[in-house]
Chain A
Amino acid sequence: MKERLLRDRSLLIMVVPAVVLLLIFNYVPMVGVITAFQYYDPLIGIWDSDWAGLDQFQQLFADSRFWHALSNTLYLSFVQLILFFPIPIALAMLLNSVLSERVRNFIQSVVYLPHFFSWVLVITIFQQMLGGAGALNQFLRSHNLGTWDVMTNPDTFALLVTFQGVWKEAGWGIIVFLAALAAINPGLYEAAAADGAGPWRRMWHITLPGLRGVIVLMLVLRLGGALSVGFEQFLIQREAVGHDAAEVLDTYAFYYGIATTNYSFGAAAGLFKSVISLLLIWGANKLAHSFGEDGLYRK
């Protein structure tokens, strides 16, 4: 043990700042979950606030709007998993097959860019293009073709937010897959090509197995974050489609907890979300291990 510590000391020293940051900003604030079991009042502090036991949770579970927000969140998460998750993988493989480095760098920069836009900007761009008075609808209107109301339609909202998410984040999401692709030994492709394997066979038998570990890791993380579908994107579009379609757990905790100064209630909603997320990530990791994959860590 002592020998290992001595051997790895420079690595350990390098990791100290990150651990300290994690402790201060992620672990110490966890003490605050106590407020979920109180009638917390910021002016008298955690120590003097009245104890509520499980009262906040009882109120939470009795609120139909909470369950509605939860089912919305799960639904949106599911739609995003199906429609969003495969896109960065496909994009990375496509980009990897482009031979010209200049073209590749150009495409890469273009698809990265939207990641750095704020949600306000992204939604404004969508509104300007697809909104009721946007470029598309003004064109349709001037040609008497009716209008296509996609920005305010609650029924197609899940598709809209997924599309916005793809536009904004898919380019950024390819980074990790590109790195995994770069790690695949080019000799394998050459050998396969020499044996007469076409592009589809090479993809099926070399590229995808090479990516499998990373795909499973991303999937585990994705499931762990299934209840975090985003906040600003929904906050900004809440009025456009109505709260029935746009309410997710995070906006629920914000409106019914923080905005109404009912802090303990918001904390209870947040704690519930964290516990479920932990269970999801634990389950997904377990599943990955049972398939012989690394998951979050090697067993």
Chain B
Amino acid sequence: MLNRRGFLGAAAMTPLLVACSSNTPQSAQKVGTNSKAGLKAALPAHVPSTAVKPDIAPIAGSGGAVTDPGFLSYPANPVATVTGVPGKGGSYTAITPLWGTVPPANNSFYQAMNKALGATLTMKPADGNNYNTIVTPMAAAKKLPDWIQLPSWWNAAFGTDRLVGSQLADLTPYLAGDKVKKYPNLAAIPTGAWQAGVWGDKLYGIPGSAYNFSVAGAIFYRRDILEAKGITADQVKSVADYMSLGKELTDAKRGVWAFGDVYTYLAFSWDLPPNWKVEGGKLLHKYELPQLLEALEWHYQLAKSGYVHPDALAGQNANSNARFYSGKELIQGGGTGGWNLSDYQSGVAADKNYRRGAFNYISHDGQSPARMFLGEAARIVSYLNIKLKPEQIEECLAIANYLAAPYGSAEYQLINFGVEGVHYTVKDGVPAATEDGKKFVQAATFPFLAGPAGVISNLGADQVTKDQAAWQAANVNALYKPAFWSMNISMPQQIALLNTSQAIDDAIVSCVRGKKTVAEVKSVIDSWKKSGLDRLKGWMTENVLNKYGTGQ
């Protein structure tokens, strides 16, 4: 299964905006974003897959959001969606980020994959936590591999907008419109996910995992412990309810605190956008919204209340899962990717009753409707090197088509579980990874190059799948597309530097840890406003809003 742990969380705080120097000699990228017509012409046609029927069907909600399909079992006789081998014997090197231990080169899983692909794909996974610093030197030396994955939340750090066309290949001639139908599994990837790979009206990127219910994260709680006290998720309707939970659940003498870190995800209850909001045709940056200060005031009070675990207040985030599993911290924010089989296994190992639950999205006052913005449909996007010959690009796309085989297919089974008897064994219809399987297969590498539409599936922990599907269904109507949703915006560097502010981010962290008052944060924001907010807004209005609209 794909491990989305960690990076969805990082994405919550990351703007879609990308730095671009206006004096680049060899870059084909123009400043601004995709035009409506250009985007439409570049996007591949969508032909949904009908390979398998989910146990829990998707439900459509607001803002074009749909819940992800849930699967409680894997088909006993999976169908093959690719005939023959896709490769033609070519050799390619691929670099992907990996959050985990790097598997040994040329291991039995890589060998099995290469045999099935009919090509030699040399996988070189690199440390995900430092991935943003690994790619830039390779790009600066013009030594990118044949195939590389560039997570979209780091587009600004990579300079993706300038790598496309100068170092990364244009895939429009191969995939735009009906041309994608040559690769049926790629054609089944939702259109929204492809949008993440379109730059300057041309298609460059291939989406990895495409989720319909793409959100930054949620507030999680120990469902087993809270329900034993008679507390259910639907009782929490406002931030005041959260505060009373803090009082009820905290027992510092026993080493139990109600809250861990919640700011990143609970702040959305004040209807904060990812970056911009458009009101009456005018742009408002998230930093200048009054509700940001309200949210900060509440979190400042929370930090002072004594209901937050002291280690969380000390920024010890690496141990937050351990605190959650051991019941020392009962409510915490996190990316939805962390709600999965391995979380269940770790939790149950610490406490046999362990059950993770997520609170519904709320509005802070409990009166206005709850709203949560939709994230990009794909944050994992891979690119091919511009040096590849057309026939090599076609071979790689055929391989991508294999890798994008849907859940329930024979190919998906090989890519995600490995070879039966070597990497997994089947017990009661549930594949269980062997030691080799854990080491070689579960470290996600191939799915990061291309992948099908995402599903909820935690084989062996049906409760997790059911809980997550139920939570998505309960919240799908709170979702909306924020301004500039999934628009790849390319900015001149001086403008991009204005768009984020380390000083404000620092002040916010200090405030929610109870170190700085809201008034102090406000003065940092005020000086940022003076330093160039007007220039930033002017640029965005002229180059994006007036030309291309909000993309909503």
On A, residues with C-beta under 8 Å from B are 39, 41-45, 48, 50, 65, 124, 127, 131-134, 137-138, 141-142, 149, 151-152, 154, 237-244, 255-256, 258-262
Contacts and interface: CB of A to CB of B under 8 A. Distances in A.
Contact of B137 (A42, A151, A255): A42
B310 A44 contact: no
Given A131-B310, A244-B510, A255-B502, 4 more contacts: A42-B159, A132-B310, A243-B509, A260-B500
10 contacts: A42-B159, A132-B310, A132-B311, A132-B313, A134-B310, A137-B310, A239-B513, A240-B313, A243-B510, A261-B157
Nearest to B166: A43
B23 A242 contact: no
Contact of B309 (A133, A256, A258): A133
A238 B315 contact: yes
Nearest to A123: B316
A42 B134 CA distance: 12
Contacts of A41: 21, 24, 159, 493
Given A39-B493, A239-B315, A48 B156 contact: no
B136 A42 contact: yes
Given A41-B493, A239-B513, A259-B502, A151 B314 contact: yes
Indicate the member of B26, B157, B310 with the most A CB atoms within 10 Å. B310
A152 B252 contact: no
Contacts of A45: 140
Contacts of A151: 310, 314
Contacts of A65: 503
Given A43-B163, A44-B25, A132 B506 contact: no
B304 interface: no
Interface in B513-540: 513, 515-516
Contacts, number: 99
Contacts of A138: 255
B21 A39 contact: yes
B314 A243 contact: no
Interface in B13-27: 19, 21, 23-27
Interface in B163-191: 163, 166
Interface string B485-518: 0000000010001001011001001100101100
Nearest to A144: B253
A261 B156 contact: yes
A164 to B, nearest CB: 14
Nearest to B497: A262
Contacts of A259: 502
Interface string B305-320: 0000111011110010
Contacts of B309: 132-133
A127 B311 CA distance: 8
Given A131-B310, A239-B513, A43 B140 contact: yes
A127 B317 CA distance: 12
Nearest to B511: A242
3 nearest interchain CB pairs? Answer: A132-B310, A239-B315, A242-B515
B127 to A, nearest CB: 15
Interface in B111-154: 133, 136-137, 139-140
B316 A127 contact: yes
B139 A141 contact: no
A152 B157 CA distance: 31
Contacts of A44: 21, 23-26
A259 B311 CA distance: 25
B328 interface: yes
B202 interface: no
B162 interface: yes
B310 A133 contact: yes
A240 B315 contact: yes
Nearest to B23: A50
A156 to B, nearest CB: 14
Indicate the member of A65, A132, A133, A134 with the most B CB atoms within 10 Å. A133
A127 B312 CA distance: 11
Contacts of B133: 258
A131 B314 contact: yes
A274 to B, nearest CB: 21
Nearest to A64: B527
B509 A239 contact: yes
B315 A141 contact: no
A42 B24 CA distance: 11
Contacts of A48: 25
A190 B506 CA distance: 61
A260 B315 contact: no
A157 to B, nearest CB: 11
A127 B314 contact: yes
A125 to B, nearest CB: 12
A251 B374 CA distance: 34
Contacts of A256: 502
A141 B252 contact: yes
Interface string B21-54: 1011111000000000000000000000000000
Nearest to A236: B315
B336 to A, nearest CB: 23
A169 to B, nearest CB: 22
Contacts of B503: 65
